[in-house]
Amino acid sequence: MGEVVSFGSVARVKRSDFRDFIDDAYDALARLPFFKERATQRDLSRQILRSFREGVPLLAEAPTGTGKTLAYLIAALAAQHGEAKPVPVVIATATTLLQHQIIEEEIPKLIKAGLLNPAHAVVAKGRGRYFCAMSGERIAQTEERQDDLFEDDDRVGAPREAQELLGLFVDGKWNGDMDAAPIRMAQSTRDAVRASGESCVGWRCGYYASCPFYTERRRLQTAKLIIANQDLVLSDLRLALEEDASPIFPVQKYLLVVDEAHRFPGKAQESGSATIDCDQAIGLIEELPGVIGKLLRHPKVSRVLERGSSLYEMLDPGQAAEALLGARDRVREESAQSEERQITLGDPEVDGRVAALEAEIGRALAECARVAAGFMTAKSALAEVKFPERDPVERKAFFDAWFLVSINAARISSLRDALETFMACRDGVRWIERGEETGAQELLRASPMEGSSVLRRLLWGRERARPVMVSATLSAFGSFARFAAKVGLSERALTCALPPCFDYGSSTLLVKRLKYSPRQAERTEWEKELQQALPAAVHEDEATLVLFPSRRLLQRSTDTLRERFGDAVLVQGSMPIATLTEAHHSRVEAGELSILCGLDSLAEGLDLPGQYCTHVIIVALPFTPPVSPVERRYHSILRNRYFPERAMPEAMLKLKQMVGRLLRSETDRGRITVLDSRLASTRWGRQMIGSLPPFRVEEEEVVDLVS
């Protein structure tokens, strides 16, 4: 798709086109003792810079070992070089952890090489990742929480925890970054003391000058490199489209590098989705009369809030509650008609029951929008008041009212937005979902078919961001077409697939030819065979990572592995990932056998270099069966084309992620074992092998494992 630029043509671009900055930057880094330039690193920088200069989107596949992080950071600095007022570059990582890795590992290299002023690189986080000192003070000093944020068990600990945090912040011993909170606290306390745009009083706050969020926002205004994450970028793009909203990045436009871009379409799809718990929504609405009563306790607050009309009339939740109750009854009626956990809703123009449900949701939406507008009117009234300075009791009453109005305005607005997303999701999929455990709780859910519909609205054709997308896995079978469709990119684009960096030929990809395969008709027999084949594939002198296709199979197979290998088997879900990998490292360093078992989510972002991973076992090829409502819809649309056009490219991308766990540096060596014979026995499986890095491929027959 678009304009495909080969590796060779990238290298032939004139040096003068890049003002020599890129070459000079790498030369400066080369003078540092710790830096070793990767073979294609400089060429990736040039291609990213070309994209920025020409204003043409770039999809760049940079295999593990390319050094893509430094490559795009240098390209970012090159794009700004010589500009009197350079446009900032926003780096969107997949996780907050990767943000910190860039700041702590890569940015210092640029600083030591004299390429970057430390003040020009800033980490951007959502407001909720910063401490709100006013909230901390309010909770620390108030025995009766007016917003009812705490359960009974938290009522004793919350004031103490808030007081301790506030003291550390005021004394300058903590900068207010909630990710680096100096004490352990209950989640409810954490939620209550984190900053919130809804409850912020801005300049009227006594802590405004030292506010962690505003301090970082001021730094963002002069930053050249803004290290953010993908969720934050999506929020910024959405806020930039709203008339009265303030975008997250305080700039008119920016250059955008999306790192680990293979995850970006999924993030976009999730951001355009909605989940509505009718019972929870009804509970929220039914609490409002009590909220109104609390707001009217103080006479002066009451007079401010009721200048134009009665607060009870303005916020009357009766009609909203009635509509939500009607919607819940309709949901339960639909749920009772089916034994499926996920019940896809049809076209309301064809299905009268869906039309009736939609009518109740529409009525609830209108009423929630009215109540949300009432809360915003109340908030505006409070915003016009100068909270009393001399009377601490009265001042506290106004602050409490502000918090109570703000919190409930945010809750109702969030419900309104979810209902609106559900109603607007005509081109996507809407369904009813029962809880996994009891089947009693019904949720209404809506999702676009892919992230493309969200990104076409937020990103493409707009001036706010000029994107480059980089990942180790973007192409499938030599084509970027599938990824381009997922992100909704239809305009001209550059694509660049850099060659592998490591010596893959020194490592082995072994396909075990079991008698059965995981395809549906043979799955039961294959699972029986697997219980013998999997333990036999483990060698006690190797650090092994085992990747499973499902939680059920993970549980069953790890029980079998433990019978033979005992405590050496470490299982995802039994402890946090960080603790799990730490235990794995400890066992390997002690010379003990370690078998780390998990789902395909461990194939992304898990870094086990050198001795920590010398054997990867892929239990089954990562095909996702069309069981979710979205995939079922795709299957019904594509029919015979579903496998080649959707299932195969998606599985190929996941398989590349899986095999990418083995080699993490130039000196790594090891082997990969695949317990799915289809990789070698089918035409499409051999296609997959041809699209993987050039491992030494072997096959091994396994017979008589199942009696």
What string of H, E and C letters represents the secondary structure of 549-576? Answer: CCHHHHHHHHHHHHHHHHHHEEECCCCC
Is 706 part of a structural domain of the chain? no
The average confidence (pLDDT) of the chain is 89
Q: Which two tokens stand for residue 256?
A: 């955008």
Q: Which of 226, 225, 201, 227 is nearest to 214 (CA)?
A: 201
pTM across the whole model? 0.88
> Mean of the pLDDT values across residues 266-294?
94
Query: Is pLDDT above 90 for 526?
Result: yes
One domain for residues 89 and 10? yes
Is 558 part of a structural domain of the chain? yes
One domain for residues 152 and 111? no
Helix (H) / strand (E) element for 445: namely strand 442-447
Mind listing the pLDDT tens digit for each residue in 11-37? 344 444 445 899 999 999 999 988 888
Query: Is pLDDT above 70 for 4?
Result: no
SS3 of 276, please? strand
pLDDT for 394 equals 83
> Mean of the pLDDT values across residues 631-650?
94
- CB of 671 closer than 8 Å to CB of 510: yes
One domain for residues 440 and 579? no
d(CA 211, CA 215): 6
One domain for residues 598 and 475? no
Provide the β-strand partners of residue 434: 442
Is 707 part of a structural domain of the chain? no
One domain for residues 508 and 530? yes
Query: Is pLDDT above 50 for 2?
Result: no
Q: Which residues of 119-138 are buried (b: 16+ CB within 10 A; e: fewer)?
A: ebbbbbbbbebbbbbbbbbb
Phi, psi (degrees; rounded to nearest 5) at 187: -60, -35
Is 515 part of a structural domain of the chain? yes
d(CA 375, CA 415): 13
Query: Is pLDDT above 60 for 279?
Result: yes
Query: Is pLDDT above 80 for 5?
Result: no
Provide the β-strand partners of residue 194: 131
Mind listing the pLDDT tens digit for each residue in 33-72? 888 888 899 999 999 999 999 999 999 999 988 999 999 9
SS3 of 630, please? helix
> Mean of the pLDDT values across residues 150-167?
71
- Going by their DSSP bridges, the two strands 508-513 and 696-701 should be labelled as parallel
Is 552 part of a structural domain of the chain? yes
Mind listing the pLDDT tens digit for each residue in 476-521? 999 999 999 999 998 789 999 999 889 999 999 999 999 999 998 9
CATH number at residue 14: 3.40.50.300
d(CA 450, CA 597): 30
> Mean of the pLDDT values across residues 362-370?
95
Q: Which of 463, 497, 531 is at the close of a domain? A: 497
One domain for residues 53 and 79? yes
One domain for residues 390 and 421? yes
pLDDT band at 7 (very low <50, low <70, confident <90, very high): very low
SS3 of 155, please? coil
Is 259 part of a structural domain of the chain? yes
pLDDT for 147 equals 44
> Mean of the pLDDT values across residues 588-615?
91
One domain for residues 421 and 569? no
Query: Is pLDDT above 50 for 345?
Result: yes
Q: Which residues contact 455 (CB under 8 A, 6 or more apart)?
A: 264, 265, 268, 487, 488, 489
Q: Which residue range is the domain that position 393 belongs to?
A: 273-447
pLDDT for 440 equals 52
One domain for residues 369 and 228? no
Is 136 part of a structural domain of the chain? yes
- CB of 614 closer than 8 Å to CB of 542: yes
Is 204 part of a structural domain of the chain? yes
- Going by their DSSP bridges, the two strands 342-344 and 594-599 should be labelled as unpaired
Helix (H) / strand (E) element for 466: namely strand 465-471
One domain for residues 455 and 440? no
One domain for residues 79 and 205? no
Mind listing the pLDDT tens digit for each residue in 644-660? 999 999 999 999 999 99
Q: Which of 438, 470, 497 is at the close of a domain? A: 497
Task: State the total domains in the chain.
Answer: 4
DSSP per position, 86-106:
PPPEEEEESSHHHHHHIIIII
Query: Is pLDDT above 50 for 126?
Result: yes
How buried is 99 (Cβ within 10 angstroms: 0-12 exposed, 13-18 middle, 19+ buried)? buried
Which of 203-212, 260-269, 384-393, 655-664 has the weakest average pLDDT? 384-393
One domain for residues 478 and 565? no
Q: Which of 447, 464, 486 is at the close of a domain? A: 447
> Mean of the pLDDT values across residues 693-707?
78
pLDDT band at 188 (very low <50, low <70, confident <90, very high): confident
